[in-house]
Amino acid sequence: MRERWPGRAGRPVPRAAWAADLVLWAVLTGVLAAELAGVRAAPTAETAVMALLLAVAFGVRRKRPLTALGLTVGAGVLHSAAVAVGMVDVFTPTYVLPSVVLAFLAGRRDGRAAPVVVLTVTAALTMLSALGAAWASDGDPRAALTGLTDWAGGVLVLIAAVVAPWLLGRYQKRHAQWRTAGWEIAARMERARAGDAERARLRERSRIATEMHDSLGHDLALIAVRAAALEMTSEEEGTRAAASELRVAAHQATLRLREIIGVLRGEDGTPAAEPAAETAADVVARAVDAGMPVRLVREGPDPDPATPAGRAVHRVVQEALTNAARHAPGARVEVRIVREDGTTTVRVADTGGFGAGAAGNGSGLAGLRALVEGMGGAFEAGPDRCAGAAGGFTVTARIPETADAGGATAPAEEPAGEATETARHWNRMRDSARRRLAAALVVPSGLAVAVTVLGFLTLWYAEANTVLPRADYDRLRVGADRAAVEQRLPRFDHRPGPIPGEPPAPPGADCRYYLTEGSGGRTPLYRLCFAGGVLVDKDVVARE
C-alpha cells in the first residue's frame, strides 16, 4: 500500500512524489555545497542554512508554490547584495539553480501572473538598492552609471531563472490539459453516440405507438360501433348477446392497446405518423360504412395526403372520429373541412348523448396538439356547450398548408458551419496552449533584449562622457586656471586605479584621468594634475 501525504486542496500526495522532491533537494543542496567548498574558506554554516531553506521550500512547494519560489529567489538576491557591498568575495551561480527548478514547478501549479511579476520586480529593486549603496559609498558617479550594467546583468539572470521557467511551466501545464482534453472529448463523443442511439430507439418506439394508436385504435373503435349497431338492431337474443360480447371485447382490446402505446411512447413524445394512403374523406366513408352517423362538409378540395398538411388533416379527422366512436357511441358527428387563404381548418363535432364510453387518458389529443402547434397551427379541443343538454365534444385544428411536419418532432440541429460546444472547448484549449507557448518564448526574449539594450546605452553614455578629444587636450596649457580648464573637460572622469609604470605625479597634486578614445580597454589615458587652483601637469599615460 502506498503511503500518502496531504497535498494541494486536500488531495493525497503519493509517496513517489515526495521521493522525487527529496531527490531534487539532495541534488541541488549537493551541487551548492560542492561549489561553496571550492570558493569559501569555511562554508559549513552557509551550506547548512541553504540546505534548511531548500528543505522548507520543497516542503511547501505543492501547497504554496509561489512561496517556495520566493524563498529561493530571496536567498539568491541576498547573496547578490552581499557580493555588491563586499561582504562576500565571489558570486556563486548555483544559488540560481533552485529558483529555476521551483519556478518551473510553480508555473505548472499556479498560473497567476501578478505574484510572479511582484516577486521579480521586488528582487530587481532590492539588487538595485544594494548596488546603489555600494556606489554611494564609492562616490564615483561614472562608476555608478557603468555599474548599472551589472544590475542589468542581474535582471537578465532573474528573467532567465524565474520568468522564463515559470512561463514554460504554465505552457507545459496547459499543453498537458490540451492532450488530456482529447481523450475527454473522445469519451464525450462515445457517450453522445450512445445517447443518439437511445434517442433513435425511443423515436422508433414512439412512431410505432403512433401508428398503432391511429390505425388499430380507429379500426377497433369502428368494430365496436358495428357491434353496437348489430346489438341494437338484431331481433335474435343470441345475436344480440354475441354482438354485446364483441363490443365489450373491442373495448377491452382498445384499453390493452392504450396500455401498450403508453409503454412504447415512454418519455419521448409523439412524432408525426407515416404518410397516409387515404384522404380525410376516405376516413369518413369507412366510419359511415361501420354505422357511425357522420356528416362530411367540405369547402374546397381535400388536401393532398402526400403533403405534411394533408397527413395532419387525415390524422385529426381519424383521431376525432375514433374518440367520438369510443366515448360517445351513437352520437351524430359532423366533420367540416374548409380550405382558404393557405390554411385548412378541420372541425369535428359530436352531439354527445346515448351514453359515453370509458374516459381516456388524453394522449391522442395531446399528440394532435403537439403535431398541429409544431407545424405552426392552432388546436382546440373541449366540450361543445351549443350541442344541447346532452353535451358534445368539438375538435378544431387550423393547419398551414406550407407547414413542415418535421418541425414538430425532429431534434434541433446545430446550424451548418457552426462549431459544436466540444469543438469550441477544444479550440479554446488549443489557443490557450499556443498563447502560453508564445508568451514563454516572446516575453523573456523581449525583456532580455530591452534590458540588454538599456545596459549598452548606459555604458555608451558613460564612456562618451569620459572621452577627452585630442584637440581639447592640446588646447590645455600648464598654469591655466582650473575653473577654465574644467569647462573643457568631459562630464565624468575615469578612475583606473594604480597603473604600472605611471610617471609620478607632482607633489600635492590632485590628478584626474580621461579616456583618449571611445573604447576604455587598454588605450592610453590623459592625466591632468591640479594644485593651487591651476593645472600643473598634463601627461599621456600608457596602459599595458
| 3 state DSSP class of 542 | coil
**Lowest mean pLDDT across 32-46, 93-107, 116-130, 262-276:** 262-276
Report the pLDDT value the prediction gives residue 528, as an integer from 0 to 100. Answer: 93
pLDDT in tens, 457-497: 888 888 888 899 998 888 999 999 999 998 889 888 888 87
Q: Round to whole Å and give the CA distance between 129 and 137.
A: 12
Report the pLDDT value the prediction gives residue 244, as an integer from 0 to 100. Answer: 67
Report the pLDDT value the prediction gives residue 190, as an integer from 0 to 100. Answer: 72
What kind and span of H or E run contains 417? none
Q: Residue 67: what residue type?
A: T
Report the pLDDT value the prediction gives residue 481, as an integer from 0 to 100. Answer: 93
Q: Rounded mean pLDDT of 41-49?
A: 81
Burial class (CB in 10 A: 0-12, 13-18, 19+), 527: buried
Q: Round to whole Å and give the CA distance between 64 and 9.
A: 11
DSSP 9: G
The residues spanned by each domain of the chain are 4-191+430-461, 194-409, 465-541
Is the pLDDT assigned to residue 409 strictly greater than 90? no
Q: Round to whole Å and give the CA distance between 519 and 262.
A: 98
Q: Round to whole Å and give the CA distance between 165 and 159.
A: 9
Q: Residue 151: what residue type?
A: W
| 3 state DSSP class of 1 | coil
Rg (the chain; Cα; Å)? 49
Buried b (16+ CB within 10 A) or exposed e, 293-329: ebebeeeeebbebebbbbbbbbbbbbbbbbbbbbbbb
* Cα end-to-end span (Å), the chain: 72
Predicted confidence band of residue 140 (pLDDT cuts 50, 70, 90): confident
Predicted confidence band of residue 448 (pLDDT cuts 50, 70, 90): confident
Give CA torsion, residues 384, 387, 393, 398, to 10 deg: -60
Q: Round to whole Å and give the CA distance between 220 and 323.
A: 11
Predicted confidence band of residue 531 (pLDDT cuts 50, 70, 90): very high
Question: Which residues, listed in sequence order, are joined to residue 339 by a DSSP beta bridge?
Answer: 344
DSSP 543: -
Q: Round to whole Å and give the CA distance between 284 and 220.
A: 15
Q: How far is residue 229 CA from its own chain's centroid?
A: 71
Report the pLDDT value the prediction gives residue 334, as an integer from 0 to 100. Answer: 92
Predicted confidence band of residue 207 (pLDDT cuts 50, 70, 90): low
**Lowest mean pLDDT across 82-86, 157-161, 168-172, 281-285:** 82-86
Q: Round to whole Å and give the CA distance between 309 and 271.
A: 14
Q: Rounded mean pLDDT of 515-533?
A: 82
Q: Round to whole Å and give the CA distance between 323 and 362.
A: 10
Most confident of 55-59, 132-136, 517-521: 55-59
The CA-CA-CA angle for residues 241, 243, 249, to 5°, reads: 105
Q: Which of 276, 354, 355 is nearest to 316 (CA)?
A: 276
pLDDT in tens, 279-326: 888 888 888 877 788 898 888 887 888 888 888 888 888 888 888 877
**Lowest mean pLDDT across 88-92, 244-248, 298-302, 371-375:** 244-248
Report the pLDDT value the prediction gives residue 269, as an integer from 0 to 100. Answer: 46
Q: Rounded mean pLDDT of 240-248?
A: 66
Is the pLDDT assigned to residue 114 strictly greater than 80? yes
Predicted confidence band of residue 386 (pLDDT cuts 50, 70, 90): low
Q: Rounded mean pLDDT of 111-128?
A: 88
pLDDT mean across residues, the chain: 77
Residues 490/468, Cβ–Cβ less than 8 Å: yes
Cell numbers of 29, please?
543542496
Predicted confidence band of residue 359 (pLDDT cuts 50, 70, 90): very low
Report the pLDDT value the prediction gives residue 284, as an integer from 0 to 100. Answer: 84
CATH tag for 465-541 (out of 3.30.1450, 3.90.1690, 1.10.10, 1.25.40): 3.30.1450
Alpha helices in 212-297 (DSSP H): 217-233, 237-265, 280-289
Predicted confidence band of residue 438 (pLDDT cuts 50, 70, 90): confident
Report the pLDDT value the prediction gives residue 346, as an integer from 0 to 100. Answer: 92
From residue 127, give the alpha-carbon distance in Å to each of 48, 119, 312, 448, 535: 24, 12, 84, 17, 40
CATH tag for 194-409 (out of 3.30.565.10, 3.40.50.1260, 3.40.50.2000, 3.40.50.2300): 3.30.565.10
Q: Round to whole Å and give the CA distance between 87 and 239.
A: 125
Is the pLDDT assigned to residue 127 strictly greater than 70? yes
Residue that wins the pLDDT comparison between 25 and 419: 25
Its pTM stands at: 0.52
Cell numbers of 289, please?
360504412
Report the pLDDT value the prediction gives residue 1, as an integer from 0 to 100. Answer: 37
Predicted confidence band of residue 410 (pLDDT cuts 50, 70, 90): very low
Residue that wins the pLDDT comparison between 411 and 62: 62
Residues 110/8, Cβ–Cβ less than 8 Å: no
Residue that wins the pLDDT comparison between 161 and 390: 161
Residue 81, sorted as left (phi over 0), alpha (psi -120 to 50) or beta, turns out to be alpha
**Lowest mean pLDDT across 39-48, 370-379, 524-533:** 39-48
Most confident of 134-138, 224-228, 380-384, 529-533: 529-533
Q: Round to whole Å and give the CA distance between 382 and 229.
A: 26
